[in-house]
Amino acid sequence: MYKLHWFLILIICGSIPSFLGDTFSKRAFLFTSDLESVKPTADSLIQKVVPDKIDVTRWSPRAIDIYKSGTSFDAVAATSTEGTVTTCTSTTATLECSGFSTPKTGHVPFFYITCGASSYLGPDPYHYTPGNGQWFSFPGMTTDNTQKIRSYACAGEVASVRPTWKLIGWFDASTCLSLGSGMTYDDNICVVPTPPPTLAPATSPPTGQPVTAAPTSPPTGQPVTAAPTSPPTGQPVTAAPTSLPTPQPSANSTPVPTNPVQKVFKHVCAKNAPLPGTICTEGSVAGFGGECLNVSVNDSCGKGGKFCWWAECDGSGSPPPPSPTTPGPTPPSPTPPAPTPVGSCQLKGVSCSDASVNCCNGCSGGKPDTRVCL
C-alpha cells in the first residue's frame, strides 16, 4: 500500500551579471529530513553557503610557454608571480605557444588528454568522447536528446579504458595551431640533468689551524729525555725531569682526530626540507647548474615551488661529526682506614681511656672474661 508524502522544493534563482573572463562559484547544500527538522537544519547551513564571482582583475597570472620537440612538448611556467619570462635549456625544442596560468580574456583552457595509447593537447575536453563531431561538438554541444554524451569513455577503446585530463593553462587557440592529436607530454625536455655530486671538496681546507699529521705520543710514566743540541759523541745525556711524570690518561678519554675535517656546504633543490644526511649524500655545491648561489639561503629553484635546502657536510659527504669531549678529572683514590691497634682491651661498658690492664694472647679470648677486644 502506497502513502502520499508531502515535500517542499525550494529553489533560489538569481541574476548575476558576468563578463568574458569572469568565474562564478557557489557552494550550496541539498538535504532530506522530516518536516519539523527542515528549518533548524537549513538555519545551520546558511552561513556555509558561499557564492563568489572572480573577475580578471583578481587573478595574478604568470606566463606559461609550450616548447615542442618532435611530437613531445613541455609546459614551462615563469618562476615568479606575474612573471613573463620562461627558460628552456633544450637545444632541440622550439617555442610553439604562449599563455597564462589563470583565466584571461581571449584565452581558453588547454587540456592534455590521454585515452589508452592516444594523446591530445588542445582546447576540446571531449576530443576522445564517442560521438564527438558526429551528433555533438564542443562548444555548443547538441540539441539531440536521443544521444548520450559519455565523456568518461574513450572512442574505439574497450569499456575499461578511461580518459585522463591535465590542465596545462589558458592559451589563445588561434595562435596555437601546431598542437593537437599525437602530442606527448614530457616535463624533462627543458630540464638539464644534474650530474652526481663529487666527493672532492669544492673549497680548500681552513688555514687558521695547523694540520697535525699524527697525535702526540702518550706519556710513558718515565722522565722525558731532552734532545741534544749537537750530535752526541757517546751516550746521550739524560736531562733531569723538571716535574713529576704525567699519569696515564684515563681509559675513557676521547682520541684526538688525526686530520681536521674539511667542511663544505651542499644543497638539494626540492619542495620539502630533506634530512641533512640526504643533502650531504645527494646534494651539490653552491652554484652548481646555475642555481642556489647563496649559501644557507632558501632561494627558489627548478620549477613547481622548489627551494634550495642546505646542510654543512664534511669532505666524505656525511654530516660533520660531534666535537670531541674532554675527559673529566680522575677522582682521588679512597684512603684506607687506619689499622686497629692490637693488644689493648677494656671492660664492658668502660671507655678505652679507662682501661689500665692490657690483655694477653693478643686480645684473643680476653682475660678476665669481662673484658672484650677493641
How does pLDDT run across 35-51, given as a tens digit for each residue? Answer: 899 899 999 999 999 88
Q: Is residue 251 part of a domain?
A: no
Contact predicate 131/29, CB 8 Å: no
DSSP category for residue 323: P
Residues spanned by the domain of 112: 63-185
Q: Which three cell numbers stand for residue 95?
A: 617555442
Contact predicate 345/357, CB 8 Å: yes
Q: Is residue 205 part of a domain?
A: no
| Statement to judge: residues 106 and 180 lie in one domain | yes
Give 210-254 pLDDT, tens digit per residue: 555 555 555 555 554 555 455 545 554 455 555 555 555 555 555
The residue among 370, 372, 368 whose CA lies nearest residue 344 is: 372
Q: What's the number of domains the chain is made of?
A: 4
| Statement to judge: residues 278 and 310 lie in one domain | yes
Q: Which three cell numbers stand for residue 359?
A: 690483655
| Statement to judge: residues 87 and 116 lie in one domain | yes
| Statement to judge: residues 285 and 348 lie in one domain | no
Q: Is residue 228 part of a domain?
A: no
| Statement to judge: residues 167 and 68 lie in one domain | yes
Residue 38 CA to residue 31 CA, distance in Å, equals 9
| Statement to judge: residues 154 and 172 lie in one domain | yes
Reading phi first (left if > 0) and then psi (alpha if -120 to 50, else beta), residue 282 is in alpha
Q: Is residue 33 part of a domain?
A: yes
Q: Is 30 exposed, middle or buried (0-12, 13-18, 19+ CB in 10 A)?
A: exposed
The residue among 274, 255, 276, 259 whose CA lies nearest residue 318 is: 276
| Statement to judge: residues 167 and 281 lie in one domain | no
| Statement to judge: residues 93 and 74 lie in one domain | yes
Residue 173 CA to residue 138 CA, distance in Å, equals 14
What does the DSSP assignment read for 309-348? EEEEEETTSSPPPPPPPPPPPPPPPPPPPPPPPSS-EEET
- pLDDT tens string, the chain, 374 residues long: the values are 556 666 666 667 767 777 766 778 888 888 888 889 989 999 999 999 988 888 776 778 899 999 999 999 999 999 998 899 999 999 999 999 999 999 888 899 999 999 999 999 999 999 999 999 888 888 877 777 788 889 999 999 999 999 999 999 999 988 887 788 999 999 999 985 566 666 655 555 555 555 555 555 555 555 545 554 555 455 544 555 555 555 555 555 555 555 566 788 888 888 888 888 888 888 888 777 777 888 888 888 877 778 898 888 876 555 555 555 555 566 666 665 555 444 445 555 444 444 454 444 444 444 444 444 44
